[in-house]
Structure 1
Amino acid sequence: MVNIRSLDPSASPLDYYGYELRRLREEAGLSQSQLGDVLFCTGSLVGQVETARKVPTREFSERLDAALMTGGLFTRLVGLVLKSQLPSWFRPYADMEARATYLCSFQVQVVHGLLQTKGYARALMGARVESDLDGMVAARIERQRIMDRENPPLFWVVLSEAALHQEVGGRTVMREQLDHLLGMQDREWVKIQILPFEVGAHAGSHGSFTLLRFESDPDLVYTEDFVQGHMTVDSAAFREGSLRYDHLRAAALSVEDSTTLITRVMEEHYGDQPEPGGSELA
């Protein structure tokens, strides 16, 4: 049975997206199943998006615009929809991140969100989130679009070596993640350094942080705890963060040596051996 749940288009970007999808589909004289055939998906998926029970992807939106000839309406809307899936406390930071011209970040335990693969992000967030996981993963991947802009920010990351060894999602996911880091190293505006274990105590022992610089706005520091994030434009805090980051970058391996270490960990720890409990095919 077709789901005819009514939506209030002003309730949220997701509700507005679903409302417009149903309206334009019906104007085109298509059933959910017929539209699904055109989009190479099920009619059930179309119905779930129409009733705001499923978050649309960017690929779905692009196909939808082509199928209904909407002039890019849904491709424009999906950015708002995905942004609305971010935690409310995180959205102000995401806005500032998208405007920054220079991002410097130190990460203690995990790969930075702008460098995560879908599989890694899903495994990481799935450890503490049960509902709306698809939407949260899609929102995290959407953030990464700033790296594909014509003028992307300069993004310099120092990762603790622990991020390479903390197995998130299994060996296959980790191999894909480390391979993705190697691919990102090829980008002119992305630099990744690894802080090796042998450094011992270091200037980032108190936790992860990110420094953001802008063309006209004040510089700011972003930190995060297990409840929410914290931004400050306090000049003393930014000065302290900059000093700590400079110490971390100086103690870390060079970009070239970091690439070598990432490659070695990927091959030695996440090679083609079977997953635990699995068996090799004859």
Structure 2
Amino acid sequence: MVHVRQLDPSASPLDYFGYECRRLREAAGLTLEGLGKILYCTGSLIGQIETAQKVPTRNFSERLDAAFMTDGSFTRMIGMVLRSQLPNWFQAFAEMEAKADYISTYQCQVVYGLLQTPEYAAAMLAADEPDKIEELVAARMERQRILARKQPPAVWVILDEAVLYREVGGREVMRKQLARLASYRNDPWVNIQVLPFSVGAHTGTLGSFTLLRFEDDPDIYYSEGYDQGHMTANPQVIRERSVGYARLQAGALSVGESADLITRVMEERYADPAEDVAQVQL
């Protein structure tokens, strides 16, 4: 007799998801393979999700809701499931980020998480968590859903010019990533500025940081180290970092100039090798 791992639904959002999936499947008298045929996936995948060994996708959740007619309960649950895959110390910030009305961030080394492509995110995460890339990329993409809301937050991103030249994942990954950044040129809610090398020393030299603003709650300042994040609503800290951010904006290129620089770096540094050959042949 095959031993089936029993889940404690109160242990985590992932365990609760798996527990409910199994409960409804068994109530419907379906085998793993039977449900797999309905959902167009393997019974093995469903078994892994039911035992919390695999993190479900949003698409899988939507198909479960359709199969069991659960009125969107699995789809509503998936946000918590994916957020639970983030590092414990980061989850509180992710929750506040999702509620913010205004997000302003300075990034000195990498593209801000809300603007990363899946490929860039995977290359970044592979450096520290090679065994959890799929889950962590899914969690990062879930964070980005706030940008697609009917009323998204206003996002202002200042990228150090070094971010454009740090090759993460190879030329193709960088080309797609910079193309995505350039695509925000005329976006009314996402503004990207590049802080050029020529600025020299500046108020962001100590590292990246983010300021979250809310309509009815105090502002929050967030920064992170190697394995932990620091979040505070201390008014003096907020005041100092807000002034620092304004100085960074003053030294940065305009949104239009930044988009031009991003496009130029994309074309000159990360051009498709096949296109380079074609140009030579011409």
TM category, shorter: over 0.9
| 1:255/1:15 CA distance change after superposition, 3 Å | same
The aligned residue for residue 156 of structure 2 is 156
Q: Distance in 2 between the 1:102 and 1:62 partners?
A: 30
> What is the RMSD of the two structures over their aligned residues, measured on CA atoms?
1.6
Q: Distance in 2 between the 1:43 and 1:83 partners?
A: 25
| 1:39/1:270 CA distance change after superposition, 3 Å | farther
* Segment drifting more, 112-121 vs 60-69: 60-69
Are residue 195 (structure 1) and residue 160 (structure 2) matched? no
Deviations 1:220-276 (A, max 9, x none): 2111111211111122211111111111111111100111111111111222116xx
Q: Distance in 2 between the 1:2 and 1:191 partners?
A: 55
Q: Distance in 1 between the 2:2 and 2:76 partners?
A: 27
Residue 185 of structure 1: SS of its match in structure 2?
A: coil
- Contact preservation (8 Å) 1:3, 1:51: no
* Segment drifting more, 61-70 vs 27-36: 27-36
The aligned residue for residue 261 of structure 1 is 261
* Segment drifting more, 66-75 vs 52-61: 66-75
The aligned residue for residue 172 of structure 1 is 172
The aligned residue for residue 116 of structure 1 is 116
- Equivalent runs, 1:1-282 vs 2, <5 Å: 4-273=4-273
Q: Distance in 2 between the 1:141 and 1:227 partners?
A: 21
| 1:46/1:3 CA distance change after superposition, 3 Å | farther
Q: Distance in 1 between the 2:28 and 2:198 partners?
A: 64
Q: Distance in 2 between the 1:116 and 1:178 partners?
A: 9
The aligned residue for residue 280 of structure 1 is none
1:130 positional shift: 2.8
Mark the runs of 5 or more structure 1 residues left unpaired by the alignment: 275-282
1:17 positional shift: 0.4
Q: Distance in 1 between the 2:60 and 2:2 partners?
A: 20
Q: Distance in 2 between the 1:181 and 1:60 partners?
A: 29
Q: Distance in 2 between the 1:30 and 1:185 partners?
A: 50
Residue 184 of structure 1: SS of its match in structure 2?
A: coil
The TM-score normalised by the length of structure 1 is 0.92
Matching residue's letter, 2:110? V
Matching residue's letter, 2:253? L
1:216 positional shift: 1.4
- Contact preservation (8 Å) 2:185, 2:256: no
Matching residue's letter, 2:161? E
- Contact preservation (8 Å) 1:83, 1:91: yes
- Contact preservation (8 Å) 1:86, 1:136: yes
Residue 26 of structure 1: SS of its match in structure 2?
A: helix
- Contact preservation (8 Å) 1:3, 1:47: no
The TM-score normalised by the length of structure 2 is 0.92
Matching residue's letter, 2:224? E
Deviations 1:176-221 (A, max 9, x none): 1111112233421110001112222222111001111111111121
Matching residue's letter, 1:38? I
* Segment drifting more, 90-99 vs 100-109: 90-99
| 1:76/1:27 CA distance change after superposition, 3 Å | same
Residue 212 of structure 1: SS of its match in structure 2?
A: strand
Instruction: Provide runs of 4+ in structure 1 moved above 4 Å.
Output: none
The aligned residue for residue 279 of structure 1 is none
